A and B are shown apart, each in its own frame.
Chain A
Amino acid sequence: MAKTHIQFTLNGQAVETLVEPRELLIHVIREQLGQTGSHIGCETSHCGVCTVDLNGASLKSCTVLAVQANGGDVTTVEGLAQSGELHAVQEAFMQEHGLQCGFCTPGMLMRSYRFLQENPNPTEEEIRVGMSGNLCRCTGYQNIIKSIQVAAQKLQAK
């Protein structure tokens, strides 16, 4: 099958590559572009571990074709820290123990990064709804919710 040339912005850098149309965005980001922070979980758009930002919206990169990102602006967990400083959501997850095994964390971070821009001062209920597309099998979610509350405070203080 003929490959298609695509280009997009990945964490602020212009990237280009050749892909088969059937290749999923998550596979291209990880395997071709070497950014393995985003994980592959269920591959059925349930677990949210592959969540990335495309053009200012959260999406599950296991259910988007790489060709659909052509010309777009993609942010993954590698793009959160700036100049060696962790993003507020990263700091808060570390400080509040918002993870145990860490597998779901890239998706949790990317979703909370976008969610706190959609709703900078959320209630606990709004956090639960806003994060409902991301599964964690370790924490029981309590510390994840707490992390996002703390991240919201950190972002507001900035």
Chain B
Amino acid sequence: MIPGNFEYHAPTSLADALALLGQYGDEAKIIAGGHSLLPMMKLRFAEPEHLIDINGISELRGIREEGGMIKIGAMTTENQLIASEILWDKCPLIPTAAKLIADPQVRNRGTIGGDIAHGDPGNDHPAIMLALGASFVLAGPDGERTVPADGFFLGTYYTQLEEGEIMTEIQVPVPPAGSGYGFSKLKRKTGDFATAAAAVQLQLNGDSCTQINIALTNVGPCSFKASDAAAHLTGKVIDDALISEAAEKAMADCDPSEDLRGNIEYKTSMAGEMVRRAIRSALSNAKGE
């Protein structure tokens, strides 16, 4: 399987990449790690006439902490996330989830920005970003804008990223003391997308949950926050009964499509279980257990 014909461009600066994108418009596609785009091109689901490879732009890689935020270059690979001491120390949800994405070779190529910007409901970083309350920096011909993850994902392969824009950075507020995270993913085998996955980030004050985000992967047209479930837990001391009720509310928000991973009922039910597990694990984590 070989992709169709295209012209290849390998800019070494963001400005050059944006200029190329401006020049070729909707005939062009940005290639990051390429492990979603190249398979789509082999199948002719994508047939860009111009491929703009941003792997050579070093300013788009790297992880740093600045002003209470963790800033991750969009071209940072999954394996770089997993190797990051800053992330394990300040925001372990990201590397914990990255370890469950694809396999070691693919994680050397796949990038956090590509995973988010592609808009595939099966990708894991969108739900992580929703759980963490992250924001994305999008560079375009008229400069940069920063948009929250909440509201960025609009549908399958459909996000707020506009033509002519490149995602350059992911900004994650450092979770405060008393925070806990949980990530639970069901997949058939290594390298498969999730049948269902849930990401949870919460904050406790004593035993009471003051804030919680619950976000889901691959059980709807795009990743989404289970807001009713979160609202049901906010301000309460979370116990097993509340966890079950929250999972029911999250399941009510699911709208998966049937495929080889299962039918709608099975996927919805598994989403509920992933939510239960992720909340429990976030609670233990917050309590330092």
Contacts A43-B42, A65-B38, A67-B10 given: A20-B5 contact, CB under 8 Å?
yes
A133 contacts B106, C-beta separation under 8 Å: yes
Task: Indicate if B141 sits at the interface (CB-CB under 8 A).
Answer: no
Interface flag for B53 (CB, 8 Å): yes
List, in ascending order, chain B residues with CB within 8 A of A129's CB: 104
| Additional A-B contact list (12), CB under 8 Å, known A68-B53, A70-B10 | A1-B7, A22-B3, A45-B106, A58-B104, A65-B34, A67-B8, A115-B104, A130-B104, A132-B104, A132-B191, A133-B105, A133-B190
Question: Does A24 interact with chain B (Cβ within 8 Å)?
Answer: yes
A63 to B31, alpha carbons, bound, how many Å? 12
Distance of B5 from chain A, by nearest CB (Å): 5
A-side contacts of B41, CB under 8 Å = 22
Q: Is the CB of A46 within 8 A of B53?
A: no
Q: Which residues of A lie under 8 Å from residue B105 when comparing CB positions?
A: 45, 48, 51, 58-60, 111, 133
The answer to whether B39 and A22 have CB atoms under 8 Å apart is: no
Considering the chains assembled together, what is the distance between the CA atoms of A51 and B105 in angstroms?
A: 8
A-B complex: 4 closest residue pairs judged by Cβ atoms:
A133-B103, A21-B8, A132-B190, A57-B108
Question: Contact: B104 with A111, CB < 8 Å?
Answer: yes
CB neighbours (8 Å) of B190 from chain A are 132-133
**Which of the residues B10, B39, B51 comes within 8 Å of A45, measured between beta carbons?**
B39
0/1 per residue, A22-59, Cβ < 8 Å to B? 11100100000000000000011110100100000111
Binary flags per residue of A63-77, CB closer than 8 Å to B gives 1, else 0: 111011010000000
User: Counting CB contacts under 8 A, is A4 at the interface?
Assistant: yes
Q: Are A46 and B109 in contact (CB under 8 A)?
A: no
Instruction: Find the A residue at minimum CB distance from B8.
Output: A21
B residues neighboring A (CB under 8 Å): 1-8, 10, 34-35, 38-39, 41-42, 51, 53, 55, 79, 102-106, 108-109, 190-191
Chain B residues with CB under 8 Å of A130's CB are: 104
Contacts of A1 in B (CB 8 A): 5, 7
Among A24, A45, A68, A111, contact of B35 (Cβ-Cβ < 8 Å): A45
Complex Cα–Cα for A63 and B149 (A): 29
Known: A58-B108, A63-B38. A22 touches B103 (CB 8 A): no
Is the beta-carbon distance between A59 and B39 smaller than 8 angstroms?
A: no
Residues on B with C-beta less than 8 A from A131 are 104
Q: Which of A93-115 contact B (CB under 8 A)?
A: 111, 115
With A45-B35, A67-B8, A133-B190 as given contacts, are A27 and B2 in contact (CB-CB < 8 Å)?
Answer: yes
A46 to B103, CA, bound (A): 9
The answer to whether B104 and A23 touch across the interface, beta carbons within 8 angstroms, is no
Report yes or no: B6 in contact with A21, Cβ–Cβ below 8 A.
yes
CB of B119 to closest CB in A, whole Å: 19
Q: Which residues of B contact A67 (CB under 8 A)?
A: 8, 10, 53
> Which one of B8, B39, B53, B55 contacts A63 once the chains associate, using CB atoms below 8 Å?
B39
Given contacts A63-B34, A130-B104, A133-B103, contact A22 B109 (CB under 8 A): no
Instruction: Report the Cα distance A112→B5, complex, angstroms.
Output: 35
The smallest C-beta distance from A123 to any residue of chain B, in angstroms, reads 16
- Bound Cα distance from A4 to B7, whole angstroms: 10
Known contacts A46-B191, A132-B103; decide if A23 and B109 are in contact (CB<8 Å): no
B34 adjacent to A64 (CB under 8 Å): yes
CA distance A58 to B190 in the complex (A): 17
In the bound complex, CA of A23 to CA of B10 (Å): 16
Residues of chain B lying within 8 A (CB to CB) of residue A70: 10
Q: Is the CB of B2 within 8 A of A133?
A: no
If the complex has contacts A59-B105, A68-B53, are A24 and B2 also in contact, measured as CB distance less than 8 A?
yes
Whose C-beta in chain A lies nearest to the C-beta of B55?
A: A68
Residue ID in chain A nearest B3 by CB atoms: A22
Cβ of A21 and Cβ of B108 under 8 Å apart?
Answer: no
